[in-house]
Structure 1
Amino acid sequence: MHIGFLNPQGNFDRHDSYWTEHPDFGGQLIYVKNVAVEMAKHGHNVDIITRQIIDPEWSEFSEKFDHYPDTPNVRIIRLPAGPKEFLRKELLWSHLVRDWIPNILQFYQEEGNFPDVMTSHYGDGGISGVLIEAEVGIPFTFTAHSLGALKMDKLEVTPENIPEMDEHYHFGRRIVAERLSMNRSAVNITSTTDQERFKQYAHPAYRGAVDVKNDDRFAEIPPGVDPSLFDIESRSPNEEETYQLIQERLARDIEEERRDLPAIIAASRLAPKKNHLGLVQAFAESETLQEKANLVIFTQGEDNPLREPVSNHTAEKEVLIPIREVVNNNNLGGKISAFSLPDQPALAAAYRFFVQRHSVFALTSHHEPFGLGPIEAALAGLPLVVTQNSGLRESLREGDEVYGILIDPENPAAIAQGLEEVLSDPQRWERLHKACRQHVWNYYTWKTTAIDYLNLIEEIVASPNACRPDELLPIHPYFRDPRPENDVSLDELKELYFQSSLSSS
């Protein structure tokens, strides 16, 4: 088969540049790349279709075509959308309609070979799938990764601040795009059933777009991990270099007598929703944690963020300044380190380094749709203490067995207690170290994810209209002609977000 992946935001290149360094370069890029590569290993031709960027600060994304080493049947295809320079995802909507989608259609028309099916990712990929299907009839799947209404909830959008919020985030466009995507897709793919399908898609803002209880167009396909990279028995090309880097940074930041202690590991981008602050507060409030472990935060692109200004203004203002205050007020200097790791192989090597010291992985996000990072860490052998506000409630459970410790991320005392339970009990550490790694091997590899996708896609290609809903939402005028007079109005957004919420309460 010929399969297309629609993912305009972020970007892809053979070196996986900038992953986690910008909010648009997050877990969905890892997801798309790995599913595409695994599909190709099964003999299919796969195109990752993204936006071309011609910008000196993003030089890796200027060529029209790119590929991954040793995977010739995966093409990275970059097509223009609006101005040449990098744009954050919230500014892409009009350029998708005016430029990107017409360029995709023209590209395949000139090739004379359209994909059999598209998989669309995030709301902007989803609306692209909607419009391409409307033009040439190619069916598509929709994988949201995260939904706009949930972000509005977390940002505490109110009738008073919604104009300001919508001006920056364009929530109206995003929610309308998501509603159209989930309504018109052949299948909606979620990572979990309870957390994602029955809670996120059931948000009142999506009422009338999809029936989460009775619609057959849902499939649970969790993301996976690359064992050749993350398994405890694997080795990265830069394994020893990474070990040396870690020892240098520990020597820089950690008191000499503490450098061989276990570590509490955090590895996610510096974003407010990741709640690094809650983890640092938990560490500050627990004498037990400070006695038994150091706190180590992996970043990308920021090598000394606890002491030096960083390039990301939002991270500096909303994440790092509060953390520095907690560190200084609680005399945590010499007990905490934060430094950059250059790439995924180095991250995997770092996990293996700290497993040898009986360390633990912590994810204290306010909300996490799935939580791929902890699954990667678990395969490397790190026990998990992770947010209960996530798909991890399902992915770390099999029957009555829970393969990690779930904590309330809003409660530093609860975070500390969960970490103490593992770090203070060597037998529990050993049990979680072995059991969770085996659980990931059994259920969460990219090979399994790709096979599930392929089985689903074969059914769609054989019968593309089998599960079409009786009522298709009309395509909003903005996504047919993105002029200001056609934009999603504040009244429309308020009706979807507030009035629906009120009517359900």
Structure 2
Amino acid sequence: MQRIAIVSEHASPLAALGGVDSGGQNLYVANVARELARLGHRIDIFTRLDNPGLPPELAWDENVRIVHVPAGPALSIPKESLLPYMDEFGKYMLEFARQQDLQYDVIHANFFMSALAAMPLARNCDIPLAVTFHALGKVRRLHQANNDLFSDRRFTIEEDIVRIADCIIAECPQDKHDLINLYSADPAKIRMVPCGYDPSELRPIEKKTARERLGWDERAFHILQLGRMVPRKGIDNVISAVARLRRNHKVDARLCVVGGNLSDANLGDVDEYDRLQTLAHDEDIESFVDFAGSRARDQLSQYYSASDVFVTTPWYEPFGITPLEAMACHRPVIGSDTGGIKYTIVDGITGFLVPPKDPTALAEKLAVLAGNPDHAVKMGHAGAARAQEMFTWEHVSSALSEIFQALNSKNSTLNSPATSSHLTLVN
């Protein structure tokens, strides 16, 4: 089995989920590391030290160690401001491996800055480099425009990483398409492995029981939105759709929004929360919208199971794990026709796809499910079968394990004549 270095510069598996920079990547790194360790691999996760109270090293799980890298001040910094510290991050990783006499078999970098930081170790120690971008700068800029606070340097760095990496992990067909068409990626170096969910953590609860625990009206049509409270998630679109559903379709609809830190004024979540509250007021549905704030992972099955439908309509989403979690809880999902969402949802079978920023279209699909609960149940069961077949973390990590072992095989088609150990990344 292999010794694997997982690099995740801003997304630690220790972080509380739901914050501005804490979401799918944190979950991905945590679960992939655990599952790879269960397969017998030894894992070191390198993540930036963002709290002076954290130890330099932490035995986090069996065969999984977290290494807190001192790069920049030991405090929480927005990921858009971390690029200047990646040189320091990379030097520390290289010195750490040398001091502990570690020879990693593969490096798995998550996000473009992690790949940049991993380059000294990959280059100097001749270690294959696999990269999961999780989000691509050119796609982000296309969708977020002036709200994208990353430097334009990101584009050049990503282009070089795509050229240099031994393997690129695409998370969905759209991701692969963007890598090839926007970054001229070599298709032979791309392998597609999706994100996943944990079936022991996300499982259905009887709807009546879940609603009693949450105090939800048993007779109303309940819609759930769950995720980080940032503008691109399109929560405003869901609120406007619920208003149309109540006004035009006469459905007694209620919306629960789970996610976001609603108490710390220093966080951007509060500004978005205020904006969304104002929208709910202006749409005259504030009494039918519950902003529940962040909830612990062990409570999520209860929220998914209490709902009639899960909705997520971001206008930009590289993959999106929450649809999988809802599907695991036997709920139909309505999602925007973008990124990984249009891969996880089978339109008309496990839920519906709608255009982002189109509350009228969303309201119409919600009305279909509200008017035909038996059909909604069938969609939920179809989604659960799809999730179980394709998207468990066990499935994801087994696929990654095969890729990582192939990278060390002399006969692997993933090995390119010009590997990361022989090329220099342009800064």
- The two structures share one fold, judged by TM-score above 0.5: yes
1:243 is displaced (CA, Å) by 6.9
Structure 2 residue aligned with 1:44? 41
Structure 2 residue aligned with 1:83? 73
Contact 2:313/2:356, CA 8 A, preserved across alignment = yes
Map 1:71-470 → 2, pairs under 5 A = 71-97=61-87, 99-156=88-145, 168-172=149-153, 174-193=154-173, 195-199=174-178, 201-203=180-182, 206-207=183-184, 210-211=185-186, 215-232=187-204, 246-247=214-215, 258=217, 260-286=219-245, 287=247, 291-302=251-262, 311=265, 314-317=268-271, 319-352=272-305, 354-355=306-307, 359-397=308-346, 402-463=349-410, 466-468=415-417
Structure 2 gap ranges (5+)? none
CA deviation digits over 1:22-76, x for unaligned, max 9? x221201101110110011111111111111235xxx5xx2112244xx320111
Partner Cα separation in structure 2 for residue 290 and residue 24 of structure 1: 38
Distance change >3 Å, CA 364–CA 176, structure 1 → 2: same
1:468 is displaced (CA, Å) by 4.2
Contact 1:288/1:420, CA 8 A, preserved across alignment = no
SS in 2 for 1:419: helix
Partner Cα separation in structure 2 for residue 297 and residue 364 of structure 1: 13
1:341 is displaced (CA, Å) by 3.7
Partner Cα separation in structure 2 for residue 262 and residue 230 of structure 1: 22
Residue 26 (str. 1) matches residue 16 (str. 2): no
Comparing 177-186 and 42-51, the one that deviates more: 177-186
Distance change >3 Å, CA 233–CA 116, structure 1 → 2: farther
1:4 is displaced (CA, Å) by 0.9
SS in 1 for 2:63: strand
SS in 2 for 1:291: coil
1:125 is displaced (CA, Å) by 0.9
Contact 2:13/2:29, CA 8 A, preserved across alignment = no
1:86 is displaced (CA, Å) by 2.2
Partner Cα separation in structure 2 for residue 363 and residue 474 of structure 1: 40
1:290 is displaced (CA, Å) by 6.0
| Letter of the 2:57 counterpart | F
Distance change >3 Å, CA 289–CA 140, structure 1 → 2: farther
Partner Cα separation in structure 1 for residue 143 and residue 316 of structure 2: 8
Contact 2:239/2:279, CA 8 A, preserved across alignment = yes
Distance change >3 Å, CA 384–CA 467, structure 1 → 2: same
Distance change >3 Å, CA 24–CA 290, structure 1 → 2: farther
| Letter of the 1:311 counterpart | A
Contact 2:261/2:269, CA 8 A, preserved across alignment = no
CA deviation digits over 1:375-402, x for unaligned, max 9? 11110111101110122222334xx974
1:259 is displaced (CA, Å) by 6.1
Partner Cα separation in structure 2 for residue 115 and residue 233 of structure 1: 42
Distance change >3 Å, CA 141–CA 329, structure 1 → 2: same
Partner Cα separation in structure 1 for residue 73 and residue 322 of structure 2: 33
Distance change >3 Å, CA 202–CA 360, structure 1 → 2: same
Partner Cα separation in structure 2 for residue 110 and residue 64 of structure 1: 14
Structure 2 residue aligned with 1:306? none
CA RMSD in angstroms comes to: 2.5
Partner Cα separation in structure 2 for residue 126 and residue 466 of structure 1: 18
SS in 1 for 2:96: helix
Partner Cα separation in structure 2 for residue 370 and residue 54 of structure 1: 29
Structure 1 gap ranges (5+)? 158-164, 235-239, 251-257, 303-308, 479-505
Partner Cα separation in structure 2 for residue 186 and residue 289 of structure 1: 53
Tell which structure's C-alpha radius of gyration is larger.
Answer: 1
Partner Cα separation in structure 2 for residue 333 and residue 94 of structure 1: 43
Contact 1:283/1:290, CA 8 A, preserved across alignment = no
Structure 1 residue aligned with 2:425? 475
TM-score, normalised to structure 2's length?
A: 0.91
| Letter of the 2:293 counterpart | S
Partner Cα separation in structure 1 for residue 404 and residue 131 of structure 2: 12
Structure 2 residue aligned with 1:64? 56
Count of equivalent residues: 420
TM-score, normalised to structure 1's length?
A: 0.77
